[in-house]
């Protein structure tokens, strides 16, 4: 499988995973408007909710990174600028993944 067909397939898989997780999270966000801070921390202290949130965020970030890379590859003509932009995207992506992971682990450890 070539690199482009792998990216295309992976993007479809991540989109499919995001559909139910997005509905779950939007529903929970509506409920979040009616709860206080300690109840919100309690929500994320649950291993099921934390794992689902982590999967959703990781999948969303992977999907967004691939989409942004595709846009850069298609519309940026300078190869140097293309490399720099894709490197910057990767840096932001890995930073966001680490931030989400650190936040979830921090909540789980403290409660």
| DSSP code per residue over 70-85 | HHHHHH---HHHHHHH
- CATH assignment, 3-110: 1.20.1300.10
The residues, ordered by sequence, that sit 6+ positions from 60 with a Cβ below 8 Å of its Cβ are: 14, 18
At 76 the pLDDT is: 93
Domain boundaries, the chain: 3-110
Q: Taking the model in full, what pTM does it have?
A: 0.84
- Phi, psi dihedral angles at 77 (to 5 degrees): -90, -30
Res 19 pLDDT > 70:
yes
Query: What does the pLDDT look like over 90-104, one tens digit per residue?
Result: 999 999 999 999 998
Res 107 pLDDT > 90:
no
Query: What does the pLDDT look like over 20-71, one tens digit per residue?
Result: 999 999 999 999 989 998 898 889 888 899 999 999 999 999 999 999 999 9
At 13 the pLDDT is: 96
């Amino acid at each position: 499988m070539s690199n482009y067909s792998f990216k295309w397939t992976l993007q479809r898989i991540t989109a499919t995973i995001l559909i139910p997780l997005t509905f779950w999270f939007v529903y929970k966000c509506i409920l979040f408007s009616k709860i206080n801070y300690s109840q919100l921390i309690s929500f994320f202290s649950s291993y099921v909710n934390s794992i689902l949130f982590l999967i959703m965020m990781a999948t969303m970030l992977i999907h967004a990174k691939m989409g942004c890379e595709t846009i850069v590859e298609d519309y940026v003509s300078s190869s140097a600028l293309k490399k720099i932009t894709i490197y910057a995207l990767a840096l932001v992506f890995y930073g966001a993944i680490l931030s989400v992971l650190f936040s979830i682990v921090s909540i789980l450890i403290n409660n």
